[in-house]
């Protein structure tokens, strides 16, 4: 009769289920934090730009000031378009990194599961 080694079973359970779950949870939390910070940075930049534009508009006192303000809007629009593109690129980069790390983690976990199953079948 075979004796049951609970420590070995616990270790196998951890290796097969809990360790991969913790690794995926850590990856998800890291990704969420990076995306949140990127969105926060972008939102702050857009807000700061809007406030600066509002303050600039409040300083318009005459036709010449209005003309100058309107000419400056072209520069602001160009900078904003560049910022939006940069923010979108950053989001895509973060998502691609997450996908690559997820795939690698999945591959590693499948390999680990196969090795564990092979060990279990040999010891049975």
* Predicted pLDDT of residue 124: 58
Return d(Cα 70, Cα 107) in angstroms, integer.
Answer: 56
Q: Which pTM was predicted?
A: 0.76
The total number of residues shown for the chain amounts to 124
The structure tokens listed for 107 are: 């591959």
What does the mean pLDDT of the chain come to?
90
Q: Which residue has the higher pLDDT, 1 or 45?
A: 45
pLDDT tens track for 53-65: 999 999 999 999 9
* Predicted pLDDT of residue 9: 77
Return d(Cα 122, Cα 114) in angstroms, integer.
Answer: 12
Residues with Cβ within 8 Å of 109's Cβ and at least 6 positions away in sequence, in order, are: 20, 23
Return d(Cα 95, Cα 76) in angstroms, integer.
Answer: 28
Residues with Cβ within 8 Å of 33's Cβ and at least 6 positions away in sequence, in order, are: none
| pLDDT above 90 coverage of the chain, percent | 69
């Amino acid at each position: 009769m075979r004796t049951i080694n609970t420590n070995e079973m616990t270790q196998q359970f951890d290796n097969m289920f809990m360790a991969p779950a913790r690794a995926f949870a850590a990856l998800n939390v890291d990704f969420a934090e990076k995306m949140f910070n990127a969105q926060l940075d972008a939102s702050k930049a857009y807000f700061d730009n809007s406030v600066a534009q509002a303050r600039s508009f409040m300083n318009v006192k005459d036709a010449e000031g209005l003309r100058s303000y309107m000419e400056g809007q072209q520069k602001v629009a160009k900078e904003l378009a560049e910022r939006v593109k940069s923010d979108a690129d950053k989001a895509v980069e973060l998502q691609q990194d997450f996908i690559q790390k997820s795939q690698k983690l999945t591959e590693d976990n499948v390999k680990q599961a196969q090795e564990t199953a092979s060990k279990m079948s040999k010891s049975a």
